[in-house]
Structure 1
Amino acid sequence: MPDIHVGTQIFDLIFHPSSSVVYLGLLTGHIKAFGYDDEGEHDRKFSVRPSKRSCRALAIAADGGRLWAAGKAKAVFSIDTGTGQIVDTWSNAHDTAINRVKSLTPNLLASGDDDGVIKLWDLRKSDSIRTYTHHFDFISDFLWLEDSKQLVSTSGDGTLSVIDVRSKKTEPIAQSEDQEDELLSIVPIKGGQKFAVGTQLGILSIFNRRSGWGDCVDRIPGHPHSIDTLAPLPAAYAPSQTTFLTGSSDGLLRAVQLFPTKLLGVVADHGEFPIERIAVDRGGEGRWVGSAGHEEVLKLTDLQEVFADDEEEDVSEGEEKEKVSQKDSEEGDSDAEVESSEEEIVPGLPPASPRKEPAPEAEAEPAADALAAGADSSDDEGIVEKKRKRKKENDPLKAEKRSKGRNTVVAEPSFFADL
């Protein structure tokens, strides 16, 4: 699909949960909606500018009927996605610029600002219902746990926290230790039992829900730059529950798998521009992934084409390997036939088709005399052809054993006794 040019930097993007529409929050304060199709064509649905200041964060309702936008204006705007009109505004919702918003339930919204303040909003009321101040730096990302009604937030202060929205307390039920690095993004893995957190240093920190939220249980390096955004890979393309998409400041959108850790491939390349936001359409289970950086365009990449090509390459490689192994086996059979035929031709002796038991020593002397006689009768050839040794059959069990590595040390156990 061709890139969607918007003329200014994109701060956030979000897809309609059931329709082929993407919404963009721009540096100029505009909120633009674009429709797209499977043939790569797109058109603009609407454009609205609730504020002249930048729009940093977007959230959409589960049914797709309402869109919320927030940013440097410190206000939260509610927009009707059908008409593109502003239907409600919470002015001065925060004291500083709002960095993230998240729709939790049909009547509950969360927002986080540059000072680390988190607020919960009841859509039926005109003011926030709770305020949390346990973070002291910007809120970078939100994750909603539907099964436990908990909100997980990551912050630039190096910690993540867990808020139970059903509790009336204004303190989190859990907060991690200082990870000594900015936490920028979070994504669930292993069916929501573990979580991967992107950091400023390019390390993925793994948190285990069952082990508590006090500290990460693993750190996985590999990204050369900061991991600014994460998104789950749709189940149709994910080989396991530990595969997701990473957007890094080096401009590459990657598909990464954990346990074992490996790079499945590069999905999109933004060149020298860092990737700020990524999202998958159709509620995270679609075929299009949108990625936005600083180059003033939205890239829409077809996951079906990316992973279909990988599957075709794997199939072709498997077929080639099968053909090579089949050819080797045929060559081996032909070599065995030649060997068996050459084994039967011995100068001075008649060919013996069936293999017989070795004769006693007394009966072996005539055969030796016959061999000597055959040697005398072939003086014109000069050399007597010797009988070839039969090729030793391979043991199928030993054939499956791996050879030792180059740096492997083989030593008796007694070698380590005196160390």
Structure 2
Amino acid sequence: MTLSFRGFEKNSSDESDSDSGEDFEEFNENDSADSIQDEEENMSDDEAATTMDNETKNGDDDEDEVVKAIKAEKNKQRDHPPTITCDDFIVDISFNPSRNLIALANIVGDILLYEYNTEETKLVNTLELHLKACRDVEFDIDGTTMYSTAKDKVIMAVDVETGKLKKCIEDAHEEPVYSLKCLDDNKIVTGDDGGTVKLWDIRKPDPVFTLKIGDEHVSDMITNDAQKYLVCAGGDGVLTTIDLKGSKIYTTSEEYDSELTCMGLFRSDSKLLVGSSKGKFYLFNWKEFGYHSDEYLGQKHSIQCMVPITQNIVVTSGEDGVLRAAHMFPQRQLGIVGQHRLPVERLDISHDGQFIASCSHDNDVKFWNISYFESIDSIIDVNHKQNKKKDMSNNLPSSSVKNAADFFSGLA
């Protein structure tokens, strides 16, 4: 935005007390521009500084209050890393769990590693790992090993510090691998486009088990700290739970009327939230995966991704490119965290919980400071009557768009 400012001061000439035209003409000749300039040059430094201060003050008084508010917003100290703009479509992102490092997986099969802080993002490594489009990238629990998978059916394990390849599993699945989840003790699980899930110990050449759970892609997988059950969301609208210890299917849910796209855990892992391509959320009690305990319409667009922020708050996004926050217990919309011009593909949260990152179809990765949620979480009024339409359009502090009411509140 280009702003123009007006700070000019026009001084009118003093009227002459002289009653003769000759005197007036004589005044114009003697008080020439040169004599006025000489007078200004003979001013003391203090007098000149005072004059400049007065002119500046008068100019500032002429500025519109809205312009001042805009300038104040522009001059605020940055509280989040700058946007990363990429040449290629970003398929997935993953924050390192122990340092300020984020991995970006793109459509040409490369993984880009960026260090970040509030002032800059710095590309520290480009890893050309896959021959086809990446599908998923994840760090292990310590952040020392990075796993990736792609449409080429290959699973890669890379040392984060050196960038050297630790493990390469070719033809890991018969179908392209769609999703990957890190467990502990060198174990990962992968799901493919054809509904097959495999558990791997990367120290061994073959999978620990292989289970066919459906006919559509495995869109997301999740487990809790105990890692007894692995819950898989499917493109066929079915939630399938695998008993990891017993290497068998534990239960399957009813078939829902849309693709199940993403999942998150809340309330000390006792509640499972599942998003869908029709904008609905389904809430399950942990271990009770056959049928949801509650459901509600989150938005009219497809929900592609979610990230839990606190034990009660989730941020979701998808087809409309808007990141929205909701409080789950009680359920109510909190507002807009941020926005992209195009659909959002993935979300993730930093190791310290201060930022979330989002990647969009416009090849941008944006960062949002969400530290304010800790205070919001503790002051939610359970008896407050929700205006859902108003709350869904409310711009939260991290949003790049300000609410008109907030913006003009200090201008009265």
Give the TM-score, by structure 1 length.
0.69
SS of the aligned residue for 2:87 comes to coil
Correspondence list, 1:35-46, <5 A: 35-37=115-117, 39-46=118-125
Instruction: Identify the residue that residue 88 of structure 2 maps to in structure 1.
Output: 8
Partner of 2:251: 174
Gaps of 5+ in 2: 1-80, 376-394
Residue 91 of structure 1 aligns with which residue? 170
Corresponding residue of 1:137: 216
Q: Note the 1:157-172 alignment, pairs <5 A.
A: 157-168=236-247, 171-172=248-249
**CA displacement at 1:9 relative to structure 2:** 0.8
Inter-CA distance 72–148: structure 2 relative to 1 (3 Å threshold)? closer
Q: Partner amino acid for 1:279? A: D
Q: Return the match for 1:290 from 345, 354, 357.
A: 357
- Amino acid paired to 2:176: A
Q: Give the count of matched residue pairs.
A: 303
Matches within 5 A, 1:51-200: 51-168=130-247, 171-200=248-277
Moved over 3 A (4+): 305-311
1:226 counterpart = 2:312: no
What is the 5 A alignment of 1:249-260?
A: 249-260=319-330
Contact 1:203 1:221 in 2 (8 A): yes
Partners of 1:80 and 1:290 in 2: CA distance: 23
RMSD of aligned alpha carbons:
2.2
Letter in 2 for 1:232: P
Q: Which amino acid aligns with 2:152?
A: A
Q: Give the distance between the partners of 2:328 and 2:301, measured in 1 at CA.
A: 18
User: Residue 350 of structure 2 corresponds to which residue in structure 1?
Assistant: 281
Q: Measured at CA, do residues 296 and 112 of structure 1 come closer, stay the same or move farther in structure 2, by a change above 3 Å?
A: same
2:15 corresponding residue in structure 1: none
Kindly provide the amino acid, as one letter, of the partner of residue 132 in structure 1.
L
Q: Distance in 2 between matches of 1:306 and 1:42?
A: 24
Instruction: Please give the per-residue CA displacement for 1:295-326, whole angstroms capped at 9, x wherever unaligned.
Output: 11111111136888969x9xx99xx9xxxxxx
SS in 1 for 2:156: strand
> Within the alignment, does 1:248 sit opposite 2:325 as a pair?
no
Compared with structure 1, are the counterparts of its residues 307 and 208 closer, same or farther at alpha carbon in structure 2 (3 Å cutoff)? closer
Match of 2:333 among 257, 263, 277: 263
Residue matched to 2:23: none
Q: Unaligned regions of 5+ residues in structure 1, if any?
A: 236-240, 321-419
Give identity over the alignment, percent: 28
Cα–Cα, structure 1 residues 123 and 299, in superposed 2: closer, same or farther, change >3 Å? Answer: same
Partner of 2:268: helix, strand, or coil? helix
> Partners in 2 of 1:176 and 1:306 — Cα distance?
33
Q: Report the alpha carbon displacement of residue 46 of structure 1 after superposing the two structures with TM.
A: 0.3
Max Rg structure: 1
Shift of 1:252: 0.5
Partner amino acid, structure 2, of 1:230: M
Query: Which deviates further from its counterpart, 299-308 or 287-296?
Result: 299-308
Q: Normalization by structure 2: what TM-score?
A: 0.70
Change (3 A) 1:162 1:247: same
Distance in 2, matches of 1:173 and 1:305, equals 39
- Residues of 1 paired with 2:148 and 2:171: CA distance? 13
